[in-house]
Amino acid sequence: MTVPPVLAAIGPGRRVLILGDSHTVGQYGKILDQACRDAGARVRTYASCSSHPIWFFDGTRTHCGYFSRNESGQIVRVPFGQLKRTPRLPLLIKQFEPELVIVSLGANMVDYSRETVMGTSAKMAQYIAEAGAELIWVGPPVIRLQPRWKLDRLCGWLHTAVKPWGRFIDSRPYTYYPETGGDGIHFKGAEGRKIAKDWAQAVFAQIQGSDSD
C-alpha cells in the first residue's frame, strides 16, 4: 500500500491536472480551474460528460458535452450531441507529469455495485499515486434527482476506495439543489451557477488548507 504524500498547497508553477464529469464541464469545473490558475499553478482540465473512472482508461466517447483547457488557457468545448473521446489518463500523466491530480468523479456511478465503484475508483487512485502525483478526489454533490441514501452510500464507498492513495473531499456539506427549476442534476441558471461557484470555492479552500480526510 502506498502512503499518500503530505499535500502542499497549490501555488506558482505547480502542475495540476483536473479531471471530471459534467459538473466539471459546467460552472464548478470552470471556477475550480480558474482558482488554481489564479494561485499561479500550471493547469490542465479535462471534463467528459457522463464519465466515470474507466472512461479515463478506455477512452469512451461522450455525446453530452466536453470541456478542456490547457496550461496556456486554450479551451476546447464540444456541445451536446457531438461525440468526443475521453482522454486516457496514462497519456495525460505521461505528457503533463502532474504533481497534483484533482478528480471529481462518482455521480455517474450512483446505481453501480459496491464492487464496481470501489474497484474502478481504487484503480484510478492507485494509478495516479504510483505515477508520483498527489491525489485529491472530490465526491459528487447533492442533487434533486437522486435519493440521499444512495449518495451517502456512494460517498462512503468512494472514500474507502480512495483513502489508501490520496485525500477525499466530501461535497455534500457544500451543495444542495433547489426544489424547483433546472434538470435536477446540473447546476444551471443564476441560482444553480451560484451553488456551483460556492462548491468550487469550498473545494479549493479545502485543498489549500489541507484539512480534508
In this prediction, residue 7 carries a pLDDT of: 67
Q: What is the CATH number of the domain that holds 111?
A: 3.40.50.1110
In this prediction, residue 101 carries a pLDDT of: 98
Asked if the structure places residue 166 within a domain, the reply is yes
Q: Which grid cell sits at 201?
A: 470555492
| Averaged pLDDT, 66-78 | 97
Structural domain span for residue 156: 15-44+93-209
For 49, residues 6+ apart whose C-beta sits below 8 A from its C-beta are 21, 22, 25, 62, 63, 64, 65, 66, 80
3-state helix, strand, coil in the chain (%, to 5): 40, 20, 40
Contact 4, 166 (CB under 8 A): yes
Find cell 474497484 and name the residue.
119
Per-residue pLDDT tens over the stretch 51-71: 999 999 999 999 999 999 999
Asked if the structure places residue 63 within a domain, the reply is no
Asked if the structure places residue 5 within a domain, the reply is no
* DSSP run (H or E) holding 93: helix 89-96
Q: How confident is the model at residue 76 (pLDDT cuts 50, 70, 90)?
A: very high
For 77, residues 6+ apart whose C-beta sits below 8 A from its C-beta are 66, 67
Asked if the structure places residue 174 within a domain, the reply is yes
Asked if the structure places residue 60 within a domain, the reply is no
Find cell 502512503 and name the residue.
3
Find cell 444512495 and name the residue.
150
Asked if the structure places residue 98 within a domain, the reply is yes
pTM: predicted TM-score of the whole model, two decimal places? 0.95
Asked if the structure places residue 9 within a domain, the reply is no
Asked if the structure places residue 33 within a domain, the reply is yes
Nearest partner of 158 among 171, 143, 174, 177, judged by Cα:
171
Looking at the 3D structure of the chain, how many domains does it have? 1
Please state, as a whole number, how many other Cβ atoms lie within 10 Å of the Cβ of residue 140: 23
Per-residue pLDDT tens over the stretch 120-177: 999 999 999 999 999 999 999 999 988 999 999 999 999 999 999 999 999 999 999 9
Residue 29's alpha-carbon distances to 105, 113, 168, in angstroms, are 12, 27, 17
Per-residue pLDDT tens over the stretch 81-112: 999 999 999 999 999 999 999 999 999 999 99
Q: How confident is the model at residue 4 (pLDDT cuts 50, 70, 90)?
A: low
